[in-house]
Structure 1
Amino acid sequence: MAMSAPMFTMPEPDAVHNASEKSLPVLASYPTLSKRGLLVRIRDAIREPMAEFIGVAIFVIIGAGSDCQVVLSSNSRVAASPKGEYLSLNFGWAIGEGLRGFRQIIADARMEGLALAVWITLALATQRGFPWKKVPVYIFSQVMGGLVGAALVYAQYFHAIDIFEGGRHQRTQQTAGLFATYALDYMTAVSCFFAEFLGTAILAFMIMAATDKNNAAPPLYLLPLVIFLTLLGLGVALGMQTAFAFNPARDFGPRLFLSMAGYGKAVYTYRRQVPISADGTEIRPDGVSRKFNLAYGLQYWLWCPILAPVTGAQVAVAFYDLFLHKSGGANAVSDQRDIDASHGA
């Protein structure tokens, strides 16, 4: 028996159009191409500054968090036993600094354009052709990252801080030093400046060497390890006397937060107000009285954790470009500009 061929009928065009509209009702909620283009432009505009912000925030969260855990747990009313020692603090800040190296991978930033620190940003701008138009935004993002990172750690530990200080709303330098940096009492102004200058110069030098594409630089994914080992070594070797800021944003951001969190202007007047005896000598906190010196009477928060790292980085980058950059110092800027151009900077 013969089988009849199946019959196919084409639906009317209007029916197809109506069915499509009914089956995809959510399309109306999607942004139009113009709206999506605007969102992409906004994201591209804030991508690098946001990476700076997040990187510094993570750095401060891990570093200041380790400070709080180690120091606050030394009080028996906070913890039954101490939760770390001085080496733990060094590991905390070094791990935080190493993790910041992943900013370069996350943001897909160029290797020579790695920032994450005020001194790197300024050094690259003055000596490597980094766009000056980006400098204010980068620095602001880094400082705000430090502020927010400190605020998050403070929110985590403020109950323990209350216990450690002996009462709520009592705030002293003992706990301020968990977030911002303070020098030991016997340190003079020159000694403080030199400590921050030297440590930052070494850190900047190592970063320049590790990111020099003409000098057998390690793979990008090893950069965080290089940064981690460098800061860990600096912390255990040079960190005791000034708490190794080595980064203006790491100190100034948390210091800004402290001034708003109950510590007041004391975070800025540190080393400016020292009692003077009748014979014109200063009465130091350690009980030793001697003639007035430049360790006091100056803006410590400005010249030690800000100006010293910036100066140290400038010297380190200039030294590297002059003596070790494969093409010579004169071509370091042109190399940077070539990288900028290839990335559309």
Structure 2
Amino acid sequence: MIPSRTEINMTQQQQQQQQQQQQQQQPQSQADIDLEQGRIEPTLKLSRISTALQNARQQRENNLMEAHGLVSPTNLQSTTSQQQPLTAPSQVIEEEDPADKPTNAGTTSAERPPTRPPLSFDGRPSQNSQHSQNEPFPSLSDHDDQGSVTTEVAGPDGLDGEWVGQEIPLVAYDPNYDDEIHNLHTHWSVIRLRFREPLAELLAVTCQLTLGFCADLVVVTSGKNSSPAGNEVTTDWAWGLASMLGIYIAGGVSGAHLNPAISIMLWIYRGFPLRKVPMYVLAQILGAFIAALIAFGLYQTNIVEYGGTNLKTGDTMGALITYPRYAWINAGTSFFTEFVGTAILAVAVLALGDDMNAPPGAGMSAFVMGLVITVLSMAFGYNTGAALNPSRDLGPRLALLALGYGEDLFTDVYWIWGNWCAPILGAIFGAFLYDAAIFAGGESPVNYPRKRIKRAGHKWRKKWGVRLRKMKPAKKGEDEAYRRWKESQ
């Protein structure tokens, strides 16, 4: 039988009263609430969260047992240790007693308990237990909301017909999502929640660059064979598909920047938090470092067979790092190759994320970006290798330095102005072009009013001025309270 609205309201009120009584008898500390709401201090000291984790697990178990009527809320703490091991929810579901059911489908004088009987997760009542007969059953005739009582119209075939009124779905266990956002059980779950976005960037970059580096090594080390295992077009497609995979891995968690130039560009033009940029960049560089080590370990024997044991003269660095490929490629050509390529990449990123433009369907952005990376590699890879990504070059350089390729990797400053300055400036310039020509949102500084720009600049200078003054030590004979009062004037 479908409960009326009054019954639903009474049930919700009783549940709220029970929760309030339970909270009064078992007060939780602010650390527990913060833990469940995801407000975690930036610390890796596990001892500071052990108590909060234990209390959160205990409270979650108590809520589950209370929801199925296994433990009374008033005696929850005292009887928890005396309970038998908790069985599966489908084994403790109760069904209404046949005597409590209405005698015919058309009557509305049936009685119903104040709380809903537990149901199995598939919505059907269990047949292994009976409803307690000691609980009072309120009569629907006592309710003032008679208009909300649903009735049933018998079908022409004698079976149950359609319900007249609003059907209320019944569920067995509905976690309180308003109070508990994150399901934290272990210390690692807390650390993962604290660093979820950088970890997603790390994993995505590692997978992306491992596939790209391995594809480059396959083409390079098989070049002396009678039948090479690929060519430049092969690596272009490999990089595009690898980038698509990386975006699918981290797109829903961190946004899948995979590139320090993109992170900095989004901070300037889309309000990405500045405090997250260093963690993103560090994760991207670390992911590139790990990917280079993995690729070298998988193809170490091929590298030695191709170029000998002297890694410096083996001519395999080009598979992992980028630089001008030929002697006639001068500095200006190298710089603007990376600059223009990253500018187009930034335009594509902003266009795909612009809801007012023509964004692709759900899940298609990664596929489109994979095609964009492929065509950029084909267009700009001949001159410099088309890094278009500072971390894609710095991470492998550090890995090759650790593997014994020599310190000459950092003597040429191309890795600074060619692989860092050019992509970052190109991404900023490309984003400026897109916002100036197409984007109309208020989060872009291109669309800021002049007064707002001046006001924002004034606030920024004032904020950093206060921070710098606080960093200065107090003068001799000047106490801390007086210094703060003086700064506030």
Normalised by the size of structure 2, how large is the TM-score?
0.53
1:306 to 413, 420, 423: 420
Please say which structure displays the higher CA radius of gyration: 2
| Secondary structure, aligned partner of 2:419 | helix
1:119 matches 2:261: yes
Match of 1:96 in 2: 242
Higher helix share: 1
Match of 2:273 in 1: 131
Question: Does the CA-based 8 Å contact 1:104-1:114 persist in structure 2?
Answer: yes
2:291 to 128, 134, 149: 149
2:84 to 16, 20, 28: 20
How far the C-alpha of 1:300 sits from its partner, in A, is 0.6
| Secondary structure, aligned partner of 1:101 | helix
1:263 to 394, 402, 405: 405
User: In the superposition, relative to structure 1, how do residues 331 and 302 fare at CA in structure 2: closer, same or farther (>3 Å)?
Assistant: closer
More RCO (CA 8 Å, sep 6+): 1
- Write out per-residue CA displacement over residues 1-41 of structure 1, whole angstroms, 9 at most, x where no aligned residue: xxxxxxxxxxxxxxx976826999xxxxxxxx997275443
Gaps of 5+ in 2: 1-79, 89-181, 449-489
User: In the superposition, relative to structure 1, how do residues 36 and 253 fare at CA in structure 2: closer, same or farther (>3 Å)?
Assistant: same
1:177 matches 2:318: yes
Gaps of 5+ in 1: 1-15, 25-32, 271-298, 334-345
1:81 to 211, 227, 240: 227
- Output the CA distance in 1 between the equivalents of 2:332 and 2:390: 18
- Counterpart mapping for 1:197-276 below 5 A: 197-270=339-412
Match of 1:189 in 2: 331
Question: Does the CA-based 8 Å contact 1:56-1:142 persist in structure 2?
Answer: yes
- Write out per-residue CA displacement over residues 277-334 of structure 1, whole angstroms, 9 at most, x where no aligned residue: xxxxxxxxxxxxxxxxxxxxxx11111011100010000111111211033645878x
| Secondary structure, aligned partner of 1:218 | coil
Identity of matched residues, %: 32
- Output the CA distance in 2 between the equivalents of 1:227 and 1:21: 51
Question: Does the CA-based 8 Å contact 2:240-2:373 persist in structure 1?
Answer: yes
1:67 to 216, 219, 222: 216
| Secondary structure, aligned partner of 2:240 | helix
How far the C-alpha of 1:206 sits from its partner, in A, is 0.6
Question: Does the CA-based 8 Å contact 2:209-2:392 persist in structure 1?
Answer: yes
Question: Does the CA-based 8 Å contact 2:257-2:263 persist in structure 1?
Answer: yes
Report the AA paired with residue 83 of structure 1: A
1:58 matches 2:199: no
User: In the superposition, relative to structure 1, how do residues 330 and 169 fare at CA in structure 2: closer, same or farther (>3 Å)?
Assistant: closer
| Secondary structure, aligned partner of 1:239 | helix
Match of 1:339 in 2: none
RMSD: 2.8
User: In the superposition, relative to structure 1, how do residues 22 and 91 fare at CA in structure 2: closer, same or farther (>3 Å)?
Assistant: closer
- Output the CA distance in 2 between the equivalents of 1:190 and 1:115: 27
Normalised by the size of structure 1, how large is the TM-score?
0.74
Report the AA paired with residue 249 of structure 1: S
Question: Does the CA-based 8 Å contact 2:390-2:420 persist in structure 1?
Answer: yes
1:44 to 193, 198, 222: 193
Question: Does the CA-based 8 Å contact 1:128-1:332 persist in structure 2?
Answer: no
How far the C-alpha of 1:114 sits from its partner, in A, is 4.4
User: In the superposition, relative to structure 1, how do residues 307 and 22 fare at CA in structure 2: closer, same or farther (>3 Å)?
Assistant: closer
Question: Does the CA-based 8 Å contact 1:70-1:84 persist in structure 2?
Answer: yes
